[in-house]
A and B are shown apart, each in its own frame.
Chain A
Amino acid sequence: MNKLKAQEVTIVDSPYKDPGKTKWSVQEKLLLGLTPQQYVAQALRNPFNWLLAIIFAIGLPIIAGRFLFGLSWVTDSSYDYPWGLFLGFGLFTLVPLSSSGFQLGTAVELFGRHDLKPIERLALLNGLLGYFFAVCYLLVDLGQPWRLPYPMLIAFGPAAVLFLVAWHVATYLSVQIAEVSVSFFEWIGFPMGKQAVRKITLGLTVAGIILSTLHQGALGALFTYAPGKVHPLWYSASFQWLHFFVSSMPAGLCMVIVVGSIVKKTMAWRCDDNFMKNVDKLSITLARGACMGLATYLTIKLIGVAHDNKWEYLASGWGLWYLFEIGVGVILPLVLISFAIRNNKIGLVRFSALLTIFGLVLNRFNTALITFNWKLGEWFIPHWREVMITVTIFAIYIMVYRFILYRLPILYTWKTADEPVHVTEPIKESATYVTG
């Protein structure tokens, strides 16, 4: 694409094809303003597409097989590990990595940090897609996925934490769709829709904070159903939900840092000056937030150990593994990020962001799979088809992510000249406010 741009091909970034009057058609918008031949050629040129093709060629038939032959065909059908990779990765890991949406939404819309604006839409999209694909993983994992709406419509178990997760993820998905729809309405050319969503932005943002607090925590609280099964070092009856909630925040921010640097490298043609100029600076701003999150997380993890007096476990083999997780996944990135921020080293910020994500993944895997059933003396070893499905859905996630970034005004600003601007209305409203 960079080559094409160098050849001065016009890429869709406004409603109009040329400074004149002709508008882009939807098909042209979908093809980014290229001719079909150009589009196919650039797609075939990209080696990453070939990698995706190989993954899909193996993975999609296996996904089909899961629905035709049952879960036992793709997993080891363990009674002791009812939750495998699909939930261990798809739900317990992807959801915290997607906490970026509510955090950036809060910073920009609620606290008025407009300097973060160039990266806000990327964070919102990262949130939406993470949640959407967490649901996809869930659909593969559920025994009877066609009954997914049951907890909403047919049978209610309101005292169950999963009931809350189901409701909140569903509600929050709608909130995120509304938040991201602003970009879609710009792209499709429907300013009315954009205005309508803009009016409820504050409500959506506050709803996002409430729902995120509760369901990020709820994913942790799910493990309080299994007090004897999760290893004591990864379990805390009182703080499990806080551990999950707090660790999701630096991880979500670091996800935006990492995705931001990936798109800066691979999608430079799509990013506008505003994004390219600001992404490094904003990464460091986000890293500051992540730094605080990591420090808080480290503190409450230690409080968790101290509160239940679990120090003696640290001397065991599991204890070493715990120290590795905390050392490499929390303390090391904390030190590196602090150093990098102080010395303005953007490369190191990116590396430590990656390390933070690794720390979160390791924590969720440890809680849900690796130390789960530690008393049984068994190991969770996934079936190869289970691994393949997990990889395939993640590849679809990346593909959809890229598809949207290519098109919607996430990394660039939609050039609008014709949008009606309402300046008078709020003044009227405020007049009533003052008098009433």
Chain B
Amino acid sequence: MKRRDFLKAWMICGASTTFGITRNAWGGASFEGYPERMGVLVDLTRCVGCRSCEAACNKEQQLPAPSAPFDDLSVFDRKRRPTEKAYTVINRYETTKAGGPVYRKIQCNHCNEPGCLSSCLVNAYTKTQEGAVIYNPKVCIGCRACMVACPFNIPGYSYSSAFNPLVKKCVFCYDTRLKNGKSPACVEICPQETLTFGHLNDLIKIGHERIREMPDKYIDHIYGEKEVGGTGWIYLSGVPFDKVGFDTTLGNEPIISNVKEFLGLIPMVLAIWPALFTGFHLLSTRNNNDPSKQGDSHSYREDAKP
């Protein structure tokens, strides 16, 4: 290897390490969440499955009319998930507990450290200071990694659109309401006060207060307080969470924690590999050269071959 080559490699190493440091700092800090973020406390013991939140969401987000009207309760016969046409759905769970079935509302949980956001290669997602996880349709290339990364299986995709397919999910009514300090449409319409809108930190306190006041009524856990790094929408339930469709195996680490190990490795590979393998090259080829050709680069010798 010539000195010029060595300097070149050295400069590339330096540049790549610098690049790597910015990348690492991005994923490396632990994020406690914006202090003023809003959230919603969902009390499953209060929900009666009237589906008015589904109707309000449909209207607010100008979604297409559903195939079955919102007062049709036969939709409860099967388990549903949010789709491109419905950003929130209610599922019914039969439980052994007295007092009939339990209803559970599903929508985007607006994580503090969203998996969708960290998996997006064009940064289409933003966690706003108000707590909403919003989506920029103008840059989305449609790789759907966010759908893979979402631990709650929330994002839908408008596969049927040939020319402008987009990710469709609850955005906390950010543009129309949350930005102006108003609660989302589903919260406003709920007749049972199942949904409580407020500062997330206050909601967590309210949740624990309710559990303390009525320990027989509630499971002693707020789902979403800690799950996958904490979510903006948190849940109280009278029955174990795994009986009503919640994934209780997710753990408390945000999704990005799983990926950090690999992300941290990138700058190291970029920095170490060039010297390592160029070194191997020198070690494995130098002895083959006769002394008069010392320092002769390998590619030149190739050229000299007939």
Tell me, rounded to whole Å, the shortest Cβ–Cβ distance linking B286 to chain A. Answer: 10
A244 to B163, CA, bound (A): 34
Contact present for A225 and B115 (CB under 8 Å): yes
Contact present for B262 and A224 (CB under 8 Å): yes
A44-70 interface (Cβ within 8 A of B): 67-70
Contact present for A426 and B121 (CB under 8 Å): no
Tell me, rounded to whole Å, the shortest Cβ–Cβ distance linking B162 to chain A. Answer: 4
Q: Which residues of A contact B302 (CB under 8 A)?
A: 198, 201
Judge if B142 is at the interface, Cβ distance under 8 Å: yes
Contact present for A160 and B297 (CB under 8 Å): no
Q: Which residues of B contact A430 (CB under 8 A)?
A: 293-296
Instruction: Produce 1/0 per residue, B111-145, CB < 8 A to A.
Output: 00001001111111000000000001001111111
A202 to B298, CA, bound (A): 8
Interface residues on A, range: 35 or more
A165 to B139, CA, bound (A): 18
A187 to B114, CA, bound (A): 52
Q: Which of A79, A110, A227 meets B155, CB within 8 Å?
A: A79
Decide: A70 near B165, CB < 8 A? Known: A110-B280, A160-B119: yes
Contact present for B258 and A151 (CB under 8 Å): no
Q: Which of A150, A161, A199, A436 meets B122, CB within 8 Å?
A: A150
In the complex, residue of chain A having the shortest beta-carbon distance to the beta carbon of B300: A426
A413 to B257, CA, bound (A): 51
In the complex, residue of chain B having the shortest beta-carbon distance to the beta carbon of A433: B295
Q: Which residues of B contact A39 (CB under 8 A)?
A: none
Contact present for B119 and A162 (CB under 8 Å): yes
Tell me, rounded to whole Å, the shortest Cβ–Cβ distance linking B231 to chain A. Answer: 15
A121 to B5, CA, bound (A): 25
Q: Which residues of B contact A19 (CB under 8 A)?
A: none
Tell me, rounded to whole Å, the shortest Cβ–Cβ distance linking A235 to chain B. Answer: 9
Contact present for A79 and B83 (CB under 8 Å): yes
Judge if A381 is at the interface, Cβ distance under 8 Å: no
Decide: A228 near B139, CB < 8 A? Known: A70-B160, A72-B159, A433-B3: no
Contact present for A160 and B115 (CB under 8 Å): no
Tell me, rounded to whole Å, the shortest Cβ–Cβ distance linking A317 to chain B. Answer: 19
Q: Which of A82, A162, A195 meets B121, CB within 8 Å?
A: A162
Size of the B side of the interface (Cβ < 8 Å), in residues, is 78
A421 to B156, CA, bound (A): 61
In the complex, residue of chain B having the shortest beta-carbon distance to the beta carbon of A69: B162
Tell me, rounded to whole Å, the shortest Cβ–Cβ distance linking A131 to chain B. Answer: 17
Contact present for B263 and A159 (CB under 8 Å): yes
Interface stretch among A7-15, A215-223, A290-298, A318-326?
Answer: A215-223
Instruction: Produce 1/0 per residue, A53-97, CB < 8 A to B.
Output: 000000000000001111110010101101100000000000000
Decide: A79 near B81, CB < 8 A? Known: A198-B299, A226-B149: yes
Contact present for A229 and B148 (CB under 8 Å): yes
The 10 closest A-B pairs by CB, nearest first: A143-B142, A82-B144, A77-B159, A70-B162, A225-B149, A426-B300, A82-B147, A433-B295, A155-B122, A155-B139
Residues of chain B at the chain A interface (Cβ within 8 Å): 2-3, 5, 22-23, 26-27, 81, 83, 115, 118-124, 136, 139-145, 147-149, 151, 153, 155-157, 159-166, 247, 249-251, 255-256, 258-259, 261-263, 265-266, 269-270, 273-274, 277-278, 280-281, 284-285, 288, 293-304, 306
Could you give 21 example pairs across A and B, Cβ below 8 Å?
A: A71-B160, A77-B159, A111-B281, A143-B141, A145-B142, A154-B139, A160-B145, A161-B119, A162-B119, A164-B266, A199-B299, A202-B281, A205-B277, A210-B269, A214-B270, A222-B148, A224-B258, A228-B249, A425-B300, A430-B296, A434-B295
